[in-house]
Amino acid sequence: MRFDIITLFPEMFEAVLGVSIIGRARKKGIVELNFHNLRDYSQDKHRRVDDYPYGGGLGMVMQCQPIFSAVEKISEGLNDKPHVILMSPKGQTFTQNKAKELLQYNNIIIICGHYEGIDQRVVDGLVDEEISIGDYVLTGGEIAAMAVVDATARLLPGVLKEEDSYNIETFGNGLLEYPQYTRPVEFRGMRVPEILLSGHHENIEKWRKYQSLRETYTKRPDLIKNAVLTKEEEDILSK
């Protein structure tokens, strides 16, 4: 899978997506990331990419030409037609399900917005979908783009170690994860729940399921209605 990210700040990305799990996945060739400086595509002699808004008002608006040129140039080098995403607080909210959905595309181009906005003709004539990472306004789309790339790329086969993928299978059901503990058994008077020390795998599994439901029910009850529950989980909830 390949992501091409169009941004005014390409240097922001390597610190986050050049290390750890995604950094390793790139080295293994599972995911390819390319960062493109929008100014490189401007036909203006001063490499301008923004201008004043028609109709007046504060702030600058990102122009069509550099963004259209960037998407067209990048697309020329691709075998498949890319899926074009604009990071924007006006988009649909990003979720785990959306990350899974994006796996269907071999090529994704992400446009990071900046300034007060972006010429609407980019949205109407170029963009397949707008994605927001939450109901707040960032100074630019870069942090949002990193979240989308990270959450999507980690789902590609071979990116996570087997034991982590197992967790995805278990919690791909839309529930929050159960509490985890590691050594020591006691820290500042707080003990690891006895059941986890019992070695009784079946009971541990049951306990984890219950904890997962309890966490979700108390912290994010809104998730329960969309979760895909087993009969056993339904039974626990109905008690």
156 is annotated as contributing to ligand binding: no
- Rounded distance between C-alpha atoms, residue 43 and residue 40, angstroms: 8
CA R_g for the chain: 22
Site string for ligand ADE, 97-126 (x = CB under 6 A): ----------------x-------------
Of 137-145, 153-161, 166-174, 193-201, the window that binds ligand ADE (rule: CB under 6 A) is 137-145
Phi and psi angles of residue 86, each rounded to the nearest 5 degrees, phi first: -110, 125
**Does the CA dihedral 150-151-157-160 come out positive or negative?**
positive
State which residue has the least CB distance to ligand ADE.
144
Pairing of strands 83-93, 129-132: parallel
Per the annotation, does 16 bind a ligand? no
H/E segment holding residue 93? strand 83-93
Could you tell me the smallest distance in angstroms from the CB atom of residue 135 to ligand ADE?
A: 7
- Quote the CA–CA distance of 3 and 107 in Å, as a whole number: 6
The residue within the footprint of ligand ADE, chosen from 133, 149, 153, 159 (CB under 6 A), is: 133
Site for ligand ADE, residues 143 to 182, rule: CB under 6 A: 144
Considering CB under 6 A, how many residues would be counted as binding ligand ADE? Answer: 12
- Quick one: which segment of 97-105, 138-146, 158-166, 213-221 binds ligand ADE (CB under 6 A)? 138-146
Integer Cα distance of 188 and 192 in angstroms: 11
Shortest distance, position 47 Cβ to ligand ADE, whole Å: 22
Stretch binding ligand ADE (CB under 6 A), from 53-61, 81-89, 118-126, 207-215: 81-89
* The token pair that represents 193 in the structure block: 């729940």
- CA-based nearest residue to 97, from 173, 32, 178, 17: 173
Instruction: Tell whether residue 136 is among the known ligand binding residues.
Output: yes
Residues of the binding site: 113, 133-138
Binding site for ligand ADE (CB under 6 A): 87-89, 113, 132-134, 136-138, 141, 144
